[in-house]
Amino acid sequence: MKIEIDSDITKAKTIPSKFYHSPKIYRKLKKLFDRSWQFIGDTNLLKKNNTHPGILLEGMVDEPYILTKDKDNIRCLSNVCTHRGNIVCNDSCNTKTLVCGYHGRQFEINGKMKFMPEFDNVTNFPNKNDDLPQIEMEFWENLIFVTNEKKCDLSELIRPMTERLDWLPVGEFKYKPELFRTYKVSANWALYCDNYLEGFHIPFVHKDLNKELEYENYFTQGIENTILQIGIGKDGENTFDLPENHQDYGKNVAAYYFFLFPNMMFNFYPWGLSINIVKPKSPEYTEIEYFTYVWKEELIGKGAGGDLDKVELEDGEIVESVQKGVKSNSYDRGRYSPKREIGVHHFHSLLQKYYK
């Protein structure tokens, strides 16, 4: 299937509905996700232990990785044994040596193979192909991002966000593990993103949130691989104290919502940051992980970022309802509101650009 989205939103039609349920299209998306940057946590993952295994976007990218720390050096390595492909490390632990549980191959914490039983007389062994390969990793403050196939620097992807927020002390925000959540939605990952990318549904779906926001002034802009939405608070609501020279100074900014293509959401509220990672698990099932970083504890629970659980459940319900609709034989493509669906149109245009 070819995605064709007219760059003129007044003429454009939305993505063919097949995109939201076809297993064949879902499988082809692996390449797009392989090339994306993915947030996997922060440097605190290596505070107690010096190893932390994981699987990059399980259900889509499926790349086993392991974060390791030796002295102050953090690396992301492949967690696949270079002998016969077993997963080397299953749990976070503190160790000097990674030992594969299948036939006992040992690796240094930097990935170098250091010992293998019963391998006398093997020619040209060990060589660098026997070491655990590195996986590309970059940081924003203490937040860790990795990619399976690096196509651009992380800084390039996040620039629209970091420039706009250069006055926020993101490095000082505190991660709250007790506020970590996984939401499960029986719908395609891109439907979930579509829904996130417009404020159009707020008055219909989020009646409480709508009381906090000034709907007429909701702002959306697509900037390269980022989509920015700004929620403007009603007078008296909780808003940011912006520096005088800031481009948004004078506006009642209640929330900055940054979408980083294809599946990361960085939501900044006066209390701090909620990172939502949309994890495609299968064509019609998605999990969304919420990571919470607190800046001003006393503001939690207030304003547009107040009751995120409620907003999330309302979104989950509507997106599941749409999933049933897009599978119908009688629906294929819709049209966009030029005023209210700029973000959705930009997202679909990026899918057209990167889905090959």
Per-residue string for binding with ligand FES, 179-208, x by CB under 6 A? ------------------------------
State the residue for tokens 């749409």.
322
Q: Which of residues 256-315 bind Fe ion (CB under 5 A)?
A: 315
* Chosen from ligand FES, Fe ion, none, partner binding at 83 (C-beta under 5 to 8 Å by type): ligand FES
Q: Which is nearer to Fe ion, 315 or 341 (CB)?
A: 315
Per-residue string for binding with ligand FES, 317-346, x by CB under 6 A? ------------------------------
Q: Is 86 in the site for ligand FES (CB under 6 A)?
A: yes
Beta carbon of residue 43, minimum distance to Fe ion (angstroms, whole number): 31
Q: Is 28 in the site for ligand FES (CB under 6 A)?
A: no
Distance CA 356, CA 354 (A): 6
Q: Which of residues 45-84 bind ligand FES (CB under 6 A)?
A: 81, 83-84
Q: Which is nearer to Fe ion, 42 or 315 (CB)?
A: 315
Beta carbon of residue 85, minimum distance to ligand FES (angstroms, whole number): 6
Beta carbon of residue 113, minimum distance to ligand FES (angstroms, whole number): 10
Q: Is 100 in the site for ligand FES (CB under 6 A)?
A: yes
Q: Is 102 in the site for ligand FES (CB under 6 A)?
A: yes
Beta carbon of residue 310, minimum distance to Fe ion (angstroms, whole number): 11
Choosing from 12, 53, 61, 105, the residue that interacts with ligand FES (CB under 6 A) is 105
Q: Which of residues 309-348 bind Fe ion (CB under 5 A)?
A: 315
Counting other chains too, the contacts that 315-320 makes at CB distance below 8 Å and 24 or more residues apart are 315/192, 315/195, 315/196, 315/205, 315/206, 316/183, 316/184, 316/185, 318/195, 318/201, 318/205, 319/185, 319/187, 319/191, 319/192, 319/195, 320/185, 320/186, 320/187
Q: Which is nearer to Fe ion, 130 or 315 (CB)?
A: 315
Listed residue (158, 187, 125, 202) closest to 38, CA to CA: 158
Choosing from 11, 18, 103, 112, the residue that interacts with ligand FES (CB under 6 A) is 103
* Chosen from ligand FES, Fe ion, none, partner binding at 105 (C-beta under 5 to 8 Å by type): ligand FES
Q: Which is nearer to ligand FES, 103 or 339 (CB)?
A: 103
Distance CA 105, CA 97 (A): 10
Q: Is 288 in the site for ligand FES (CB under 6 A)?
A: no
* Chosen from ligand FES, Fe ion, none, partner binding at 100 (C-beta under 5 to 8 Å by type): ligand FES
Q: Are 274 and 177 in contact (CB under 8 A)?
A: no
Q: Is 302 in the site for ligand FES (CB under 6 A)?
A: no
Q: Enumerate binding residues for Fe ion (CB under 5 A).
A: 315
